[in-house]
Amino acid sequence: MIGKILKKLDDKFLKGEPRTGELFAVAALFDTPDQIIHAAEKVSGAGYKKFDVLTPYPVHGMDGAMNLKPTGIGWVGLIAGMSGTFLAFLMIWWMVGINYPNIFGGKPYFNLPASIPIMFELTVLLSALTLVGSLIALFMKLPANANPLMDTDFVKRVTSDKFGIYIEAKDPKFKLEEVRTMFEGLGSTSVSNIHEAEYDLGDTKNPLLNGKFIGALLGTSVAVVGITYFVLNVLLFLPPFDWMHRQPKVLPQTESKFFKDGFSMRKPVEGTVARGFMPYEFKGMPDSLVVITPNPLPVTQKVLDLGKKRYDSYCSPCHGFYGKGDSRLRGQFPVPPTLHSVKVTNWKDANIYHVITNGQNTMPSYASSISRDDRWAIIHYLRVLQRSANAPDSDLETK
Amino acid sequence: MSLDATYTREIPLVEGKTSFREIDDVIARPTETKPNIKWFIAIGISSTALLIGAVCLGLTFWYGVGLWGNNQPVGWAFDIINFVFWIGIGHAGTLISAILFLFRQKWRTGIARFAEGMTIFAVMTAGIFPAIHTGRPWLDGYLFPYPNQHGLWVNFTSPLLWDVFAVSTYFTVSFVFWFIGLIPDFATLRDRTTSGIKKAIYTALSLGWRGSNRHWQHYERVYLILAGLSTPLVLSVHTIVSFDFAVSVIPGWHTTIFPPYFVAGAIFSGFGMVSTVLIIVRKVFDMEHIITVNTLEKMNKILLATGTIVGYAYAMEFFIAWYSGNPIEQFTFINRAFGPYSWAYWIMFSCNVFFPQLFWFKKIRRSIPITFVLVLLVNVGMWFERYVIIVTSLTRDYLPSSWGMYFPTMYDFGILLGSFGMFFTLVLLFAKTMPVVAMSEIKAVTEGAQPSHKHKHE
């Protein structure tokens, strides 16, 4: 079985493609580096352009002999490296200086000295990867396994122990006999004609619509999605990955088996008062008994902004963003009346404060979740909403 | 050239000039023949060690890092010791392949490929430790700054994060450097092989390389630049590793000598390991005439030099502790040499400072058995150096009330053994499947490999 597979692979890869195509190039092998340098000088001197020298290792002085321009790939490395420095700088500066400022060790949010190691590393990383990527893909145009030279005896020698040169048939000055006699005259041990290989590429009209290709694509995407789903939704909830979740602790809203009363959350000891806590003196009293105190906060942009923020998060789910009673709770909770009613408009701030602090019928108390100042700020903002919904015509008059 | 090409001249095949075919034959032989019994014994031992490590690691995954000896006050122990140890090993490879390349040390050619491979395997081995020491390695993605569901970024002022960048960059750059060097050799193997499956693999890996001089031209430049980039990179990596300690305020760690001291130690330990592996591999693969005594002697000279630098650093630490007038610093160093861990200190000191001094003698430098023993001692000594730095400082820092002792468990030792197993298994597989000596480079430095007459531009 395995023997059969190996045999098949041998047949496929060792034989190579049939060489029936047009003449691609004439190639010559030489034995010594001196000869190949001489040959390269001759060929480039004779004005051939589409030729190349193949050697098992870089031969000193060959670039000059072939008349090649110096390589510019160093610039690629330089530019990529500098972009690496700059991108790293930008990344750190934005992440810790702008997007999520956080104090570490009492240092400035963004501090340059601490960023230099990473800037350096990314300089090297980007430079090296870009260099290698562009070397392979742009400068050498590899992978090039379909090159007609592949699998010829010519290439099999030049990757080992001989020095080769070839001139392509496409070169404007190419004349078969002339080239062959020139190579022989230079002392070549073997001159050969290399033909294009005939690749059986099948129906290549639109490779994107190829059934196998589409199948592979679909298969891969299904596999990737499946694996991702499995890892994130199943695997990470299996032991040992979930052992950090399984802790002997009580979660909110769960029954306690430890305490007699079954509550997990404990009440403070009778009579204790939290630091900075001021009991609300009208707790549980009807509206009429509330002593009217003025709103202690000034009406400033800052207070209104704070009020809007708190209103939008604490009140708007039930009362709507504009206080019109357009609840977003879709009937899961009784829809409250509009806050633009005459009653609420004419209420003093202290009455509204009373509702927020104490609750009213179905509306629960917000005393524990919203601080006192925030409650007063919400009231200022609520006044803005009421005013904007019932703006008098006089507001339109220009002053 | 006369001096550097000695290893190739020793290939005793053709008088005077070595043929390139024979170089290929010798270097490609392990990839083309069935391995001998020595190889099977070696890989048997190393994979057993790897397996033991894997079991200990598996148990650690299941039960958590509580299996290790780490506890208050030693929260960092074998995990970080092994990390620093293996990262340091890797540095010799880059030094040989990049720094010696820039210095035009042609003797490096025989061992450069090997040393680069070792760099990669050592960094892979090292990388395991920071990954597992987090306790929940499947969450290690958080080490990288990516836009996550918490809206949080990593702490860019922490040396531990710099380490993440330094080590991953180091691995990536070493890897592409290594791969680029391998392309021409893969092409040689592709054109030699008589097996279809190997041909398919080498064809894919060689990317259709054909030795074109229009390619060599860019290729050589990139190789040079990569060497130039790797040189500061390797220095930066161990500098940053030393920052993990130096940036903290623990006595014995908070010193400015750490970066150069760590870099010298890394090169020292790396050369120790390269020698160890080379001595084994040249035996296993019968490559005594490519990895020669001359090369090993040169490596021994580097060991002598870096070992002396390390000894100087040990002495300087003591001097500064005294000179600083800081009683806590002073205590830390006296405690290192004479406290409960003095045995570890003196193992470190003798293996790293005393024994390598024997390399002053040419006879010893050129004796393979003695070299083997000495480099093994260097490996031991450098592992203990990290042990001493980490454990002595953490067990006894400021307040005596918070002192404690550290006792590793069998899982710690198992994972340490496993790291050696992993490293050597990878090295042996590498030596079996890829050319361990850069064929194209070694051909270029044999006698008569370059044109004899001067050219216009030279």
Residue B412 near residue B78 (C-beta atoms within 8 A): yes
Model confidence over A178-196: pLDDT tens digits?
999 999 999 888 899 998 8
The values of phi and psi at residue B205, to 5°, are -70, -30
- Return the pLDDT at A332: 87
Residue A123 near residue B165 (C-beta atoms within 8 A): no
- Return the pLDDT at B326: 92
- Return the pLDDT at B81: 95
Residue A233 has pLDDT above 60, yes or no: yes
Q: How many CB atoms lie within 10 A of CB A382?
A: 24
- CATH number of this structure's domain A287-393, picked from the four choices 3.40.720.10, 3.40.50.970, 1.10.760.10, 3.30.1480.10: 1.10.760.10
* B207/A contact by beta carbon, under 8 A: yes
Structure tokens belonging to residue B434: 């890829």
Which of A34, A51, A55 lies closest to A194 in space, CA to CA? A51
- Return the pLDDT at B356: 94
What is the mean pLDDT of the segment spanning B291-305?
89
- Domain assignment of residue B234, yes or no: yes
Residue A352 near residue A344 (C-beta atoms within 8 A): yes
Residue B456 has pLDDT above 50, yes or no: no
What is the mean pLDDT of the segment spanning A376-395?
90
Which of B312, B311, B334 lies closest to B322 in space, CA to CA? B334
- Return the pLDDT at A202: 60
- Return the pLDDT at A51: 93
Model confidence over B143-166: pLDDT tens digits?
899 988 888 899 999 999 999 999
Please tell me which residue of chain A has the smallest CA distance to B218: A71
CA B60 to CA B137: how far, in whole Å? 11
- The total number of structural domains in chain B stands at 1
List, as one string, the DSSP characters of B14-27: SSSS--HHHHHHHH
Residue B9 has pLDDT above 60, yes or no: no
Share of chain B above pLDDT 90, in %: 64
- Domain assignment of residue B341, yes or no: yes
Please indicate, yes or no, whether the overall pTM of this predicted structure exceeds 0.90: no
Model confidence over A27-65: pLDDT tens digits?
999 998 999 999 999 999 998 999 999 999 999 899 999
Which of B169, B180, B70 lies closest to B129 in space, CA to CA? B70
Range of the domain at B52: 34-138+158-445
CA B20 to CA B13: how far, in whole Å? 11
- Domain assignment of residue B147, yes or no: no
Residue A20 has pLDDT above 80, yes or no: no
Strand, helix or coil for residue A52: strand
Q: Would you call A55 and B213 a contact, using CB atoms and an 8 Å cutoff?
A: yes
- B337 vs chain A: nearest CA distance in angstroms? 33
Residues 20-39 of B with CB under 8 A from A: 20-21, 24
Residue A128 near residue B173 (C-beta atoms within 8 A): yes
Q: pLDDT band for position B18 (50/70/90)?
A: low
Of A34, A71, A155, the CB nearest to B451: A34
CA A307 to CA A384: how far, in whole Å? 10
Q: Would you call B211 and A146 a contact, using CB atoms and an 8 Å cutoff?
A: no
Q: Looking at this protein, which amino acid is placed at residue B180?
A: I
* A158/B contact by beta carbon, under 8 A: yes
* A316/B contact by beta carbon, under 8 A: no
Q: pLDDT band for position B290 (50/70/90)?
A: confident
- Domain assignment of residue B122, yes or no: yes
Model confidence over A90-139: pLDDT tens digits?
999 999 989 988 888 888 889 899 999 999 999 999 999 999 999 999 99
- Return the pLDDT at B5: 43
ipTM: 0.91
Q: Would you call B207 and A142 a contact, using CB atoms and an 8 Å cutoff?
A: yes
What is the mean pLDDT of the segment spanning B278-294?
82
* A262/B contact by beta carbon, under 8 A: no
- Domain assignment of residue B189, yes or no: yes
Residue A392 contacts by C-beta under 8 Å, 6 or more apart in sequence? none
Sign of CA dihedral B429, B430, B434, B439: negative
DSSP category for residue A240: T
* B144/A contact by beta carbon, under 8 A: no
Helix or strand (DSSP H, E) at A155: helix A153-158
Residue B4 has pLDDT above 70, yes or no: no
Of B176, B199, B441, the CB nearest to A132: B176
Average pLDDT, chain A: 88
Any idea which residue has 């270097």 for tokens? B27
Model confidence over B177-209: pLDDT tens digits?
999 999 999 999 999 988 888 898 999 999 989
Helix or strand (DSSP H, E) at A54: strand A51-54
Q: pLDDT band for position B6 (50/70/90)?
A: very low
Q: Would you call B218 and A135 a contact, using CB atoms and an 8 Å cutoff?
A: yes
- Return the pLDDT at B106: 79
Residue B191 near residue A13 (C-beta atoms within 8 A): no
CA B445 to CA B357: how far, in whole Å? 32
Cα–Cα distances in angstroms (integers) from residue A263 to residues A267, A367, A369, B377, in the given order: 9, 22, 21, 64
Of B155, B177, B207, the CB nearest to A136: B207
User: To 5 degrees, how large is the angle CA A147–CA B212–CA B29?
Assistant: 90
What is the mean pLDDT of the segment spanning B404-416?
95
- Return the pLDDT at A248: 81
- Return the pLDDT at A204: 63
Model confidence over B334-387: pLDDT tens digits?
999 999 999 999 999 999 999 999 999 999 999 999 999 999 999 999 999 999
Segments making up each domain of chain A, as ranges: 17-198, 220-267, 287-393
Structure tokens belonging to residue A392: 């008098």
Residue B15 has pLDDT above 70, yes or no: no
Strand, helix or coil for residue B237: helix
- Return the pLDDT at B16: 41
Q: Would you call B226 and A128 a contact, using CB atoms and an 8 Å cutoff?
A: yes
What is the mean pLDDT of the segment spanning B92-97?
85
Structure tokens belonging to residue A247: 């802790």
CA B396 to CA A118: how far, in whole Å? 32
- Return the pLDDT at A201: 60
Model confidence over A350-375: pLDDT tens digits?
999 999 999 998 999 998 889 999 99
Model confidence over A68-79: pLDDT tens digits?
999 999 999 999
* A100/B contact by beta carbon, under 8 A: yes
* B199/A contact by beta carbon, under 8 A: yes
Model confidence over B108-132: pLDDT tens digits?
888 888 889 999 999 999 999 999 9
- Domain assignment of residue B454, yes or no: no
- Return the pLDDT at A251: 80
CA B458 to CA B453: how far, in whole Å? 10
Chain B residues close to A59, C-beta within 8 Å? 213, 450-451
Q: Would you call B236 and A122 a contact, using CB atoms and an 8 Å cutoff?
A: no
Q: Looking at this protein, which amino acid is placed at residue A6?
A: L
Residue A340 has pLDDT above 80, yes or no: yes
| Residue of A162 and B449 predicted with greater confidence | A162
The CATH number assigned to the domain holding B97 equals 1.20.1630.10
Please tell me which residue of chain A has the smallest CA distance to B453: A34
User: To 5 degrees, how large is the angle CA B235–CA B239–CA B245?
Assistant: 165
Q: Long-range contacts made by residues A64-71, C-beta under 8 angstroms, separation at least 24?
A: A64/B455, A64/B456, A64/B457, A65/A37, A65/A38, A65/A40, A65/A41, A65/B455, A66/A40, A66/B213, A66/B214, A68/B213, A68/B214, A68/B217, A71/A139, A71/B217, A71/B218, A71/B221
